[in-house]
């Protein structure tokens, strides 16, 4: 018994629409790349936004898609940062892109090992376990002072030109272009991943692990996989920080960093990939603006924002952007094309 | 008689309660086997044990003679043991299209594909749509499961299990909560299963049980109480006394 081709066409079209690029997305990336030429005097903060956005994208993969909450994501970020800084300092790998990959792999290895700690337990246990792992790593880096420079941080790191051609400069021109390209490539991978059968199975594991396992999905396997991948993303974000600032310190592992990250993702909204990026933009510019105004009140403002967001999106921390996302997803190419065609014919 | 699924002295104890008490049950290949018993008899617990959702306190479970007691739920699904839930267990934020798609890609071993976009395999989409049409879900393929009427959700609950192509299907009160006039869709789908699929049905409605089953086991207080053909069970005075009471007398 074969279904009529029309039903299959409808289904195929609906599924294809899930993964289709929306105009707003394309616009987002055009603006991001145009900023290389448009805002040369803002490249330093844009670089920070790029790696913070990547870091938040990593958290989104586990929180927004697999439902794993973490207060210790800085563990992977920090490992990536130290790996990249050490590779450069001791001239083990001089080419930044290669060092970036190695830093990502190191963070993935740590992610894989620690993923077993987050497989079970409530959100609260996960918060505590992830927090604990990050604290442990920070202490480890502190103790290994001969290697990491301890509390002083890793001094005297010099980063060689990217691909042997593009030298890092003090204005962040190279840094921004480099970070943005890395972010974009990893974003494409993440986008592919969440729109794949694997990505769909993550949503099922997040939504109802009992049923997911009852249709043959290895819940643990999926969680281990995405936690490992996300750790790699976070490690690369940390490596970008180390490479664009030629420095790594214990602060990369700090609790504040993990907590801010959660805040960034909450500001932008979890579960649609852009939340981390948008959150990073808002967070960094707000921080820049508010701390220029009144440096000592920055924590107050950020606290206020947090309370407001949570009150507005009371039921779920991920949900407050839902109306905007609905609008965005209705704005698909065809509708827009029809709209433009209609309005231009009206004008004639 | 070839046995598909078998339990040997299966015990499940919760603090204070013995939910499964030395259950030794054999389900024949291709059987239409019904499991009945009063509320709290341990029927759902038995399915939880058979599918690995819960671990038995003691005893063993065999599939085609192989011990599967230590396998996890998803491993058992791969061996063909699939269940439905008494209370719907669905993916509220996903559509029926996505839900059935999940089960089908998992069954085909494509659930880990991360480089391919969902829906890019025409044969897979065709199979998913065929299942959705069979279960009268074609008109709601793109609606969020959470907003579907209960009857449709119940159909999706059953369709999702069928999409796993079970060799042994365990149905936990599939018609529960479905109005009388919508039940036939679910029952027709169950009746239309290939004859070689082994089915264990838990059901309170005796009309359904007796029209469906070729074998009936009665569970009381966690223990197997009576087992036999529908006629034997219907005639058994102990069953009448303990459980069926008036209903069988009427039948
Ligand atoms: N997770 C659990 N923890 C503690 N006790 C449980 C648990 N699950 C079931 N029980 C108890 O075990 C007994 C059997 O429950 P079960 O759900 O298997 O019954 P049932 O035969 O499916 O009943 P019903 O017809 O109402 O669905 C009940 O007394 C129940 O309270
Ligand atoms: Mg039950």
pLDDT of A313:
62
B141: closest CA among A208, A9, A174, A324? Answer: A9
pLDDT of A309 higher than 90: no
pLDDT band with cut points at 50, 70 and 90 for residue A153: confident
pLDDT of A322:
61
pLDDT of A323:
59
Backbone angles phi, psi at A313, to 5 degrees: -100, 50
Mutation site for A-interface testing, chosen from B52, B102, B171, B194 by largest number of A Cβ within 10 Å: B102
Interchain pair A14, B113: CB under 8 A: no
Interchain pair B102, A10: CB under 8 A: no
* Mean pLDDT (chain A, rounded): 88
Interchain pair B74, A193: CB under 8 A: no
Q: B131-172 pLDDT, tens per residue? A: 999 999 999 999 999 999 999 999 999 999 999 999 999 999
B180 touches chain A (CB under 8 A): no
CA distance B249 to chain A (A): 38
pLDDT of A211:
97
When pLDDT is averaged across residues B104-120 and rounded to a whole number, the result is: 93
The number of beta carbons lying within 10 Å of the beta carbon of residue A128 is 14
Of A34 and B250, the one with more pLDDT: A34
Of A176 and A1, the one with more pLDDT: A176
Q: Taking the domains of chain B in order of start, what are their residue ranges?
A: 3-250
- Closest residue of chain B to A19, computed from CA coordinates: B117
Q: Can you give the residue range of the structural domain that contains A40?
A: 4-347
Q: A183-225 pLDDT, tens per residue? A: 999 999 999 999 999 999 999 999 999 999 999 999 999 999 9
Percent of chain A residues past pLDDT 90, beyond the cut: 64
Percent of chain B residues past pLDDT 70, beyond the cut: 96
- Any idea which of B51-55, B110-114, B180-184 has the lowest mean pLDDT? B180-184
- Any idea which of A9-13, A164-168, B225-229 has the lowest mean pLDDT? A164-168
Interchain pair B114, A211: CB under 8 A: no
When pLDDT is averaged across residues B173-186 and rounded to a whole number, the result is: 86
pLDDT of A341 higher than 60: no
Which residues, judged by CB distance below 6 Å to any ligand atom, belong to the binding site of ligand 1?
A: B 14, 17, 19, 37, 39-45, 86
In contact, A125 and A191? CB cutoff 8 Å: no
B24 touches chain A (CB under 8 A): no
Name the helix (H) or strand (E) containing B145: none
Of A195, A198, A203, which is closest to B111 when you measure between CB atoms? A198
Side-chain half-sphere of A308: how many Cα atoms within 13 Å?
7
Side-chain half-sphere of A95: how many Cα atoms within 13 Å?
6
3-state secondary structure of B13: strand
Contacts by B150-155 with C-beta closer than 8 Å and gap 24+? B150/B177, B150/B178, B151/B178, B151/B179, B151/B182, B151/B185, B152/B96, B153/B88, B153/B90, B154/B88, B154/B178, B154/B186, B155/B185, B155/B186, B155/B189
Taking the CA of residue B38 as reference, the ligand 1 atom at the shortest distance is 25
In contact, A235 and A76? CB cutoff 8 Å: yes
pLDDT of B213 higher than 50: yes
Interchain pair B83, A216: CB under 8 A: no
In contact, B33 and B199? CB cutoff 8 Å: yes
- For residue A166, what is the domain's CATH number? 1.10.3470
Of all protein residues, whose CA lies closest to atom 9 belonging to ligand 1? Answer: B45
pLDDT band with cut points at 50, 70 and 90 for residue B97: very high
Q: A77-130 pLDDT, tens per residue? A: 999 999 999 999 888 888 999 999 999 999 999 999 999 999 988 889 999 999
CB pairs under 8 A between A and B: 145
For chain B, the helix, strand and coil percentages under 3-state DSSP, each to the nearest 5? 40, 25, 35
Residue by residue, DSSP assigns A66-102 as T----S-THHHHHHHHHHHHHHHHTTS--SHHHHHHH
On chain A, the residues whose CB falls within 8 A of the CB of B72 are 213, 218
Of B51, B91, B97, which is closest to A11 when you measure between CB atoms? B97
Annotation: CATH topology of B3-250: Rossmann fold (3.40.50)
pLDDT of A334:
47
Which residues 42-81 of B have a C-beta within 8 angstroms of A?
A: 51, 53, 72-74, 77-78
On chain B, the residues whose CB falls within 8 A of the CB of A213 are 53, 72-74, 77
Task: Report how many domains make up chain A.
Answer: 1
Of B77, B93, B128, which is closest to A203 when you measure between CB atoms? B93
How far is ligand 1, taken at its centre, from the CA of residue B17, in Å? 9
CA distance A223 to chain B (A): 12
pLDDT of A348:
43
Backbone Cα Rg of chain B: 19
pLDDT of B246:
46
């Amino acid at each position: 018994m074969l279904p009529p081709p029309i039903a299959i066409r409808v289904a195929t079209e609906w599924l294809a629409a899930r993964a289709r690029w929306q105009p707003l997305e394309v616009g987002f990336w055009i603006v991001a790349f145009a900023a290389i030429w448009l805002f040369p005097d803002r490249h330093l903060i844009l670089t920070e936004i790029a790696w913070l956005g990547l870091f938040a994208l990593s958290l989104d993969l586990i929180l927004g898609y697999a439902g794993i909450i973490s207060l210790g994501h800085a563990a992977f970020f920090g490992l990536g940062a130290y790996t990249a800084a050490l590779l450069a300092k001791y001239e083990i790998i001089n080419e930044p892109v290669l060092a970036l990959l190695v830093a990502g792999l190191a963070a993935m290895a740590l992610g894989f090992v620690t993923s077993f700690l987050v497989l079970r337990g409530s959100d609260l246990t996960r918060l505590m376990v992830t927090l604990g792992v990050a604290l442990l790593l920070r202490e480890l880096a502190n103790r290994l002072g001969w290697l990491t420079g301890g509390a002083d941080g890793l001094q005297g790191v010099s980063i060689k030109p990217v691909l042997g051609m593009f030298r890092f400069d003090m204005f962040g021109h190279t840094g921004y272009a480099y970070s943005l390209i890395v972010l974009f490539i990893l974003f494409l991978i993440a986008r592919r991943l969440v729109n794949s059968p694997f990505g769909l199975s993550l949503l099922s594991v997040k939504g109802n692990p009992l049923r997911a396992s009852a249709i043959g999905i290895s819940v643990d396997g999926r969680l281990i996989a995405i936690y490992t991948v996300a750790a790699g993303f976070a490690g690369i974000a940390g490596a970008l920080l180390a490479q664009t600032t030629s420095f790594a310190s214990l602060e990369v592992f700090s609790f504040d960093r993990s907590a801010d990250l959660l805040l960034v993702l909450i500001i932008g909204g979890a579960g649609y990939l852009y939340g981390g990026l948008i959150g990073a933009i808002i967070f960094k510019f707000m921080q820049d603006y508010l701390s220029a105004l009144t440096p000592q009140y920055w924590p107050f403002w950020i606290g206020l924002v947090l309370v407001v967001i949570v009150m507005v999106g009371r039921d779920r921390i991920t949900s407050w952007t839902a109306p905007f996302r609905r609008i965005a997803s209705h704005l698909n190419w065809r509708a827009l094309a029809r709209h433009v065609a209609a309005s231009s014919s009206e004008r004639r | 008689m070839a046995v598909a699924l078998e339990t040997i002295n299966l015990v499940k104890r919760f603090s204070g309660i013995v939910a499964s008490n030395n259950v030794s049950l054999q389900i024949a290949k291709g059987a239409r086997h019904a499991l009945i018993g009063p509320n709290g008899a341990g029927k759902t617990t038995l399915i939880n044990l058979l599918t690995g959702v819960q671990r038995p306190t003691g005893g063993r479970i065999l599939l085609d003679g192989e011990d599967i007691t230590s396998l996890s739920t998803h491993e058992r699904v791969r061996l063909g043991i699939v269940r439905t839930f008494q209370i719907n267990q669905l993916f509220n934020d996903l559509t029926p299209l996505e839900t059935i798609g999940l089960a089908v890609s998992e069954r085909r071993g494509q659930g880990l594909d991360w480089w391919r976009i969902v829906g890019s395999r025409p044969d897979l989409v065709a199979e998913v749509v065929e299942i959705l049409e069979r279960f009268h879900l074609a008109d709601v393929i793109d609606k969020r499961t959470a907003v579907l009427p209960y009857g449709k959700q119940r159909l999706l609950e059953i369709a999702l299990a069928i999409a796993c192509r079970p060799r042994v299907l365990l149905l936990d009160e599939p018609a529960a909560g479905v109005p009388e006039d919508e039940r036939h869709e679910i029952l027709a789908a169950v009746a239309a299963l290939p004859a070689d699929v082994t089915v264990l049905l838990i059901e309170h409605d005796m009309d359904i049980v007796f029209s469906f089953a070729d074998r009936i086991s009665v569970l009381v207080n966690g223990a197997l109480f009576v087992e036999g053909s529908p006629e034997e069970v219907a005639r058994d005075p102990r069953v009448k006394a303990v459980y069926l009471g008036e209903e069988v007398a009427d039948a």
